[in-house]
Amino acid sequence: MKKNAYLQYHHGHGLGSSEFLGVCGVIFVIMSGVLSYAALARDRSREAACASNVRQIVMGMNLYAHDHAGRYPPSGDDMVGPIYPYVNNLQLFICPIDADPVETLFSSYREPSMMVPSSVELSYFLVGGMATDDRPRDVLVGDTLPRHRGAANAACIDGRLRTLSADELTDARSRSETP
């Protein structure tokens, strides 16, 4: 009786070492592609969360300005204190891309009148001394660094979001540091 061609080469012992390595190689290539897309999706979701943070901070600042004769908080190190009663969320002031978990940074600061500890560096800057009747496209709040693929999120007085290049970010930050 003549044997089957498959059984003639494999003798019923399963995969050979070269076949096993080929299957492992294919699985490795597929997994590397899936993992790279997962990392990209995670980065994009963090960028979207950062943009949402900036927009919510501006909304809180607009509420503050409504209660203070159309003036936004003055420039300075304490951006959180004046705005916190309007947003009630300390996590807004730290970009999701920054490594330190916000829960540990702010764990002892539960009072609405709290001050941010000096060891915490906020992810966003405020251009202080502005008013609601200033130019609507002027940047009011933005990322302190270009964290998002070489760009930074920023929000204007009218609440619109903008993506700033590194040069535009430097210009906006220089306005925030001018007395």
Domain boundaries, the chain: 52-177
One-letter amino acid for residue 37 of the chain: Y
pLDDT value, residue 134: 79
The model's pTM: 0.69
Between CA 83 and CA 60 the distance in angstroms is 6
pLDDT value, residue 71: 87
Instruction: Specify whether the CB–CB gap between 127 and 137 falls below 8 A.
Output: no
pLDDT value, residue 104: 44
For residue 90, what are its two tokens? Answer: 């300390």
Between CA 76 and CA 82 the distance in angstroms is 11
Who contacts 49 (Cβ-Cβ below 8 Å, separation ≥6)?
96
pLDDT value, residue 154: 87
Instruction: Specify whether the CB–CB gap between 93 and 52 falls below 8 A.
Output: no
Q: What are phi and psi of 161, to 5 degrees?
A: -90, 145
pLDDT value, residue 8: 57
pLDDT value, residue 4: 59
pLDDT value, residue 162: 84
Q: What is the DSSP letter of 144?
A: S
For residue 45, what are its two tokens? Answer: 């979701």
Coil, strand or helix at 162: strand
pLDDT per residue of the chain (179 residues) written in tens, 0 to 9: 555 555 555 555 666 788 888 888 989 889 888 888 888 888 888 888 888 888 898 888 889 988 988 888 886 667 788 888 898 888 888 888 875 555 444 544 445 444 444 445 777 878 877 777 777 778 888 888 888 888 888 888 888 888 888 888 888 777 665 55
Coil, strand or helix at 52: helix
pLDDT value, residue 113: 44
Between CA 148 and CA 44 the distance in angstroms is 9
